[in-house]
A and B are shown apart, each in its own frame.
Chain A
Amino acid sequence: MSSRCLDMTLCAALLLALPLAGCEREMRRFDTPPKATDRAGPQGAALRPGPFASAPGGPDAQARSMSQVPRQPPPGYEENAFAVAQGKRWYRWFNCNGCHANGGGGMGPALIDATWRYGRQPGDIAETILQGRPNGMPSFAGRLNEEQLWQLTAYVRSMSGQLRADVAPSRSDALSAGEPESRRETQRPGRR
């Protein structure tokens, strides 16, 4: 009978003893993203689609957005599979395909390789999206909110294999556009 007691206790203990810790990869955050507390530099919370109706893309808004993109995203994007999946949705919805195709590039540069004209860090990519770049990358300031921006940034980084394999998206439910992001490796310069 003692073995039965032991069985029951063990079963109960293991079912209940695991901490209710949230696993970061699986969090689904539906409200505003967590405020960053320990980053150097200006706060990402300063990024807002500003009062553009009265000053659409005016010099104030431009200056604000150019100077205040932090280098790192707030926590909760690059380790979060849901956020990266949402980023993939924005990539499709906002027609990034139009210039970048599914990452292979076209009118715009490729996003799946290791060549980054303006930097590969999340802050660089976010800045690119927000303020635009020479030679045709439009500015999306005022068109995305902060959460969408960081989700999209995280997805773009996953396209070149910079995210962990268990966070990056797997294959799309669409025509195949190459290896799923979770199975990509960053391509090194010099490799064709």
Chain B
Amino acid sequence: MNGLHDVLLSGGVQADRVIDLWRLLLWVCSGVFGLVLVGLAWALWRAPSVRNGSRPLHPDGPARARLLHWRIALATLVSTLLLVGLTAASIATGRALAGLSLDGALHVEVTAHQWWWELRYEDDPPGALFSTANELHVPVGRPVLLRLRSDDVIHSLWVPSLGGKRDLVPGHEVTFTFRADRPGVYLGRCAEFCGLQHAAMSLQVVAHAPAEFDAWIARQREPARAPTTAQRERGRTVFSGASCAMCHSITGTDAGGRRAPDLTHVASRRTIAAGALPMGEESLAHWITDPQSVKPGTNMPPTVLTAEDLQALVAYLGSLQ
């Protein structure tokens, strides 16, 4: 998997703003930390060292005590002012983040499942709606409005290079907005512990130039490519006849399962199994025959096929660009 996955390497305006806040906090906090250590070192250097059990002191006359107390009060006041300033900076950043213009936003509904991401692009007329999984394509420079829902437990969507995270809580629907300002691939992960394969629930965000994005959308709206070879034809039959269609769907075929990723254009994706394996025929074969060895605990069952059927199925799926 390649792609930016770093809070400090930004691909969009939201992440930029957070980096600015981070820099401010880093400088202030490092400065304060340094001052405390310097203060401590100075205190230890200045005070004489004595043997254990030596006579205790009562060194503070009233004047000295007052002086110490004023100094401490001053240091406290300075600390308070710094903290108030940092709070103001945080709130200002928050307001800036909330102020992202939503004109012309792309609407996508994200539903989190154990352990994959379902994405429905909503800007289409109902007949042209499509679903995809685990890979969110967005146009550069255009705001994206995600509607976040969870199908089972609490998950959290996080793409570090594009912005902060949002929890997907069952029973709540939340929106999250961001804008990718530079083309590229951005890696995201689920960031709320959600069970056995929380570690392998990745989301990739692919930001395209607008023309490329339009082309991608147009391809995704089309139903699945009809098989062009006998092997792929056999593969489609295997798909419909085996257990695949119980959970998966391929638009344009009889397979209409809604419980697992939509596979209509699976071969156009960069990875399968929410980022666990790179897209490819070998990966597909591995995933289909022994998913537990890739993601122990996954709900995808192992499927037993003859070698020929497996090859045919994989060839068919590999053709679904």
Interfacial residues, chain A to chain B (CB-CB below 8 A)? 28, 30-32, 48-49, 51-54, 56-57, 86, 89, 93-94, 142-145, 147-148, 173
Q: Which of B288-309 contact A (CB under 8 A)?
A: 292-293, 296-297, 299, 301-306, 309
Task: Decide if B157 is an interface residue (CB 8 Å cutoff).
Answer: no
Number of interface residues, chain B, beta carbon within 8 A:
25
- Name the prevailing secondary structure of the B interface residues: loop
Output the nearest chain A residue to B236 by Cβ-Cβ distance.
A53
With a cutoff of 8 Å between Cβ atoms, the chain B residues found around residue A148 in the complex are 301
A-B interface pairs (CB < 8 A), number = 57
Interfacial residues, chain B to chain A (CB-CB below 8 A)? 152, 170, 196, 234, 237-238, 241-243, 246-247, 259, 292-293, 296-297, 299, 301-306, 309, 312
Give 15 CB contacts A-B under 8 Å: A31-B292, A49-B242, A49-B243, A49-B303, A51-B309, A53-B312, A54-B306, A56-B237, A86-B299, A142-B241, A143-B242, A143-B243, A145-B302, A147-B301, A148-B301
Whether the Cβ atoms of B299 and A89 lie closer than 8 Å is yes
Name the one of A30, A143, A145 contacting B304, with C-beta atoms under 8 angstroms.
A145
Whether the Cβ atoms of A53 and B238 lie closer than 8 Å is yes
With a cutoff of 8 Å between Cβ atoms, the chain A residues found around residue B247 in the complex are 93
Whether the Cβ atoms of A145 and B301 lie closer than 8 Å is yes
With a cutoff of 8 Å between Cβ atoms, the chain B residues found around residue A173 in the complex are 152, 170
Whether the Cβ atoms of B304 and A48 lie closer than 8 Å is yes
CA of A139 to CA of B292 in the docked complex: distance in angstroms? Answer: 26
- Name the prevailing secondary structure of the A interface residues: loop
Output the nearest chain B residue to A145 by Cβ-Cβ distance.
B301
Known contacts: A49-B304, A53-B234, A147-B301. The answer to whether A93 contacts B309 by CB under 8 A is no
With a cutoff of 8 Å between Cβ atoms, the chain A residues found around residue B302 in the complex are 32, 145
Whether the Cβ atoms of A52 and B241 lie closer than 8 Å is yes
Whether the Cβ atoms of A53 and B309 lie closer than 8 Å is yes
Output the nearest chain B residue to A173 by Cβ-Cβ distance.
B170
With a cutoff of 8 Å between Cβ atoms, the chain B residues found around residue A86 in the complex are 299
Whether the Cβ atoms of B243 and A142 lie closer than 8 Å is yes
Known contacts: A53-B312, A56-B241. The answer to whether A30 contacts B296 by CB under 8 A is yes
B307 CB to nearest chain A CB (Å): 10
Known contacts: A32-B302, A53-B312. The answer to whether A144 contacts B297 by CB under 8 A is no
